[in-house]
Amino acid sequence: MKKILTLLSLAFAAMTATAQVYLDPNAPIEERVQDALSRMTTHEKIKILHAQSKFTSAGVPRLGIRQLNMDDGPHGVREELEWNTWSVARWTNDSIVAFPSLTCLTATWNRDLSALYGHSVSEEFAFRGKDIMLGPGVNIQRTPMNGRAFEYMGEDPFLAGEMVVPYIQSAQKNGVACCLKHFVLNDQEIDRFNVNVNVSERAMREIYLFPFKRAVDKAHVYTIMGSYNLWNGDHCCHNDALLNGILKKEWGWDGALVSDWGGTTNTMQAAYGGLDIEMGTYTDGKVKEAQHGYSAYYLADPFEKLINEGKIPMEVLDEKAARVLRTIFRTSMNPQKVIGFQCSEAHYDACRQIGEEGIVLLKNEKGMLPLDASRYKRILVVGENATRSLTQGGGSSELKTLYDVSPWEAFNSQLSTANCQLTLAQGYKSGRSVYDHVDKVDSSINDSLRSAALEAAKQADLIIFVGGFNKNHKQDCENGDRESYDLPFGQSALISALAKIQPNLIIVTFGGNPYAMPWLPQAKALLHCWYLGSEAGDALANILTGKVNPSGKLPVTFAKRLEDYPYAKFGQEAYPGITDVKVPANSAGEVPHRQVYYKEDIYVGYRGFDKDKVQPLFPFGFGLSYTTFAYGKPTATVQGDNIVLSVAVTNTGKVAGKEVVQIYASAPANKSLPKPQKELKGFGKTRLLAPGESETLTITIPRSDLASWNESTHQWQVDGGTYTLSVAASAADVRQKVNVNIP
Ligand code: BGC
């Protein structure tokens, strides 16, 4: 009997030893990871750490472990590319919905819409068989020159952090990982591969790392993309202090760090610097891209050799492989992963709704808007963006859409009537949207387009100008920053000339950044639209006509002049950096050739405008509505570790509308560190309030959100004392104040 029992227990042990826990969808992920790891050879572990094509990394076919399929991001699924090159694959079934740009989403200040965005876009990724979407991005908009600002979430770390969390949560609920980018300090495109950022410890923590930390803490983001630039002399794709020190150890993040494409430069640093998946490494220049063996990547053969020779311990490899396996079990082998859907009606609805709530009404003189088209007989629409597809261009976020509704199409269906005739004049020409290439437009073409528009203006009784930026190189596009704060392609002069002919002038601009508006006094109304995606025209027309009341507010300060931005007074050193400075080489022997110094420190955006006492053109948080709102007396109480603030908001106008309420905290007089005059620490948006209707918003501010980073103790610290909470409609429009004592 004893013998039988022993045999049975041995058989049971053998069975459990071979039970494929890693394939059991109901087993805890950590058990699946450890089980898979224990079955993999060194070579198999190495293979999952780097690309096997432009946008996939390998699984372990022998064990039935699936690969990871990735794609850009962040506004929709990128057109399918060839397996080994950047050329398009010419599929006929990869046309998708382009969602509004992340600046637009942020301008909604609506967390529910962020969740809807993440849910909808991840369904499209799932449908296309993708496991990781390369986005969203939360780099801070410290300069309006940044060519990629449209892909990010504005100038304020709290707003960006709060708005990114629901996006990630709902995308990941669908089994699609977000790859939050670009970690960190990728705040300019000039010399993005080789700029070393010098920033104070405090600004690093309070401004630049803050939204990433929020995404780690609150949304448990599965993957993060390292940025190209350097911090403290090391590339951020393998920067030990940043990735191991802060992200993995201090924050306890358990996800996989993906390199930006071509951001890995060295095997030892890749091994020890916190990188987990190496993507897009460029060729050595001797072979064509398509022939460059993925086994030549830094984390491939060269890494395997060092492991096999015992020069790098196996734990380093195991740690990376475990993170990649975890990602695989969370996504491609996640039984909860959805099948998804492409171009559903619900996705277009989401796209339009986000666009409508993100459009910001900046000026509306004498109730010019909402537009009653029946009052006009001849409306002239001027500007290239009235017809141009703005979902193309921009670099990696470029999209191939099933359809885009242009403003011109939507105006035709919503504004034109038997009595009202619409005509179109292009006004200016910007050229094709070609990545990394500034199209030269023949000036004679622009002269004749301009004359034609001015001629047509004489016949019109209303002009709607639809311009701004596009996604050409050095506009809103990767790998290049803007070169001027002015509107491009001679638009400002054209607008002024149009206004002289017909003062009934409505300006509509697209773009990710603020810009100079010398013509502002001449415009009757102004709407800024960021980028609105596939439903651009409908969203815009619905706002123009008042079908939807605008409720977007600026996520970035619009300055009168470029010189007014807080960094600008520090000259080239602060942006775009200087090249004639000697710095020591890093451990890999590299010397970055550009150094940029974030001399404005924590005083980025409105924090700096407040400090410098500079009046912006339009402050952070600003946006008009077709109605008005009154704010009641707020109350604020300390409840445990939270401050709970309540304020009633009443629609005092004649049409239904939503209001964004912003809470800015000002530190006590006895504060131990210098603090900005005020900082955004909470916000809420009302539901659609009918005229006369009120809603009480309750906004919770955790005490820990009042903390500052102390550079002497290298810790967060909250000063006790009396804080003033300003309840505001924008950074410059404080409606109510309430004091609260923090122990
Ligand atoms: C960009 C990333 C992008 C990647 C893949 C890089 O050049 O910086 O944001 O995800 O390419 O297209």
Q: How far is the C-alpha of 734 from the C-alpha of 725, rounded, in Å?
A: 10
- Chain center to CA of 531: 12
Per-residue pLDDT for 433 more than 80? no
Is 730 near ligand 1, meaning CB less than 6 Å away? Answer: no
Predicted TM-score (pTM) of the model is 0.96
CA of 152 to the centre of ligand 1 (A): 13
Q: State the pLDDT confidence band at 9, using cuts at 50, 70 and 90.
A: low
**Is residue 261 within 6 Å of ligand 1 at its C-beta?**
yes
* Structure-block tokens of residue 398: 């470029």
Ligand 1 centroid, distance to 586 Cα (angstroms): 25
Q: How far is the first Cα of the chain from the last one, in angstroms, to the nearest whole number?
A: 70
Cα of 71 from ligand 1 centre, angstroms:
9
- Specify the DSSP class assigned to residue 618: B
Counting Cα atoms < 13 Å in the Cβ hemisphere of 512 gives: 34
Res 435 pLDDT > 70: no
Q: Which CATH class is domain 351-545?
A: alpha beta
DSSP 282-330: PP-SSS-GGG--GGGSTTSHHHHHHHHTTSS-HHHHHHHHHHHHHHHHH
**Which residue among 260, 289, 473 has the greatest number of ligand 1 atoms within 8 angstroms of its CB, and so is best to mutate?**
260
User: Is 71 touching ligand 1 by the criterion CB < 6 Å?
Assistant: no
Atom of ligand 1 nearest to the CA of 192: 8
Residue closest via CA to ligand 1's atom 7 equals 261
* Catalytically annotated residues: 260
Atom of ligand 1 nearest to the CA of 73: 10
pLDDT at position 10 over 50: no
DSSP type of residue 107: H
Q: Do domains 40-80+95-330 and 627-742 have the same CATH topology?
A: no
C-alpha distances in angstroms, 713 versus 201, 359, 453, 709, 710?
11, 43, 62, 9, 6
pLDDT greater than 70 at residue 5: no
> What is the DSSP secondary structure assignment for residue 51, as one 8-state letter?
B
Please write the tens of the pLDDT for every residue from 467-506. Answer: 999 999 999 999 999 999 999 999 999 999 999 999 999 9
Work out the percent of the chain whose per-residue pLDDT is above 90. 90
Closest atom of ligand 1 relative to the 135 alpha carbon: 10
Q: What is the DSSP letter of 73?
A: -
**Fold (topology level) of 627-742:** Immunoglobulin-like (2.60.40)
Distance 260 CA to ligand 1 centre (A): 6
State whether residue 444 is helix, strand or coil. Answer: helix
Token readout for 417 is 């009537």
**Residues 455, 75: Cα–Cα separation, whole Å:** 38
- CB 396 near ligand 1, within 6 Å: yes
- Ligand 1 pocket, residue 78 CB under 6 Å: no
Length of the chain: 743
CA–CA dist 186, 231 (Å, integer):
10
- The 10s digit of each residue's pLDDT in 223-258 is 999 999 999 999 999 999 999 999 999 999 999 999
569: which 2 tokens?
A: 């007074």
Calpha distance 170→219 (Å, rounded):
9
Contact 74, 98 (CB under 8 A): no
Name every residue whose Cβ is closer than 8 Å to that of residue 681 and which is 6 or more positions away in sequence: 158, 663, 664, 665, 701, 705, 706, 725
CB neighbour list of residue 11: distance below 8 Å, 6 or more residues apart:
none
Determine if ligand 1 sits within 6 Å of the CB of residue 625.
no
**Domain spans of the chain, in order of start:** 1-39, 40-80+95-330, 351-545, 627-742
Instruction: Determine the pLDDT at residue 184.
Output: 98
- Amino acid making up residue 495: I
Spatial separation of the C-alpha atoms in residues 94 and 405, rounded to whole Å: 18
* C-beta 72 within 6 A of ligand 1: yes
Upstream peptide bond of 370 is cis (omega within 30 degrees of 0): yes
Q: Are 172 and 219 in contact (CB under 8 A)?
A: yes
At the fourth CATH level, which superfamily is domain 40-80+95-330? Answer: Glycoside hydrolase, family 3, N-terminal domain (3.20.20.300)
Q: Give the closest residue (by CA) to ligand 1 atom 3.
A: 396
Q: H/E element holding 664?
A: strand 660-666
Helix axes 210-219, 157-173, angle to 10 degrees: 30
Distance CA(290)–CA(285), nearest Å, equals: 12
Is the CB of residue 618 below 6 angstroms from any atom belonging to ligand 1? no
Give the DSSP H/E element, type plus range, for residue 606: helix 606-612
Whole-angstrom distance, CA of residue 145 vs CA of residue 474: 9
Rounded to whole angstroms, the Cα distance separating 361 from 554 reads 9
Give the pLDDT band (50/70/90) at residue 17: low
Three-class secondary structure of residue 258 per DSSP: strand
d(CA 66, CA 189): 35
- Which pLDDT does position 33 carry in this prediction? 98
CB neighbours of 285 closer than 8 A, spacing ≥ 6? none
Q: What is the pLDDT of residues 271-314, one digit of tens each?
A: 999 999 999 998 776 777 667 789 999 999 999 999 999 999 99
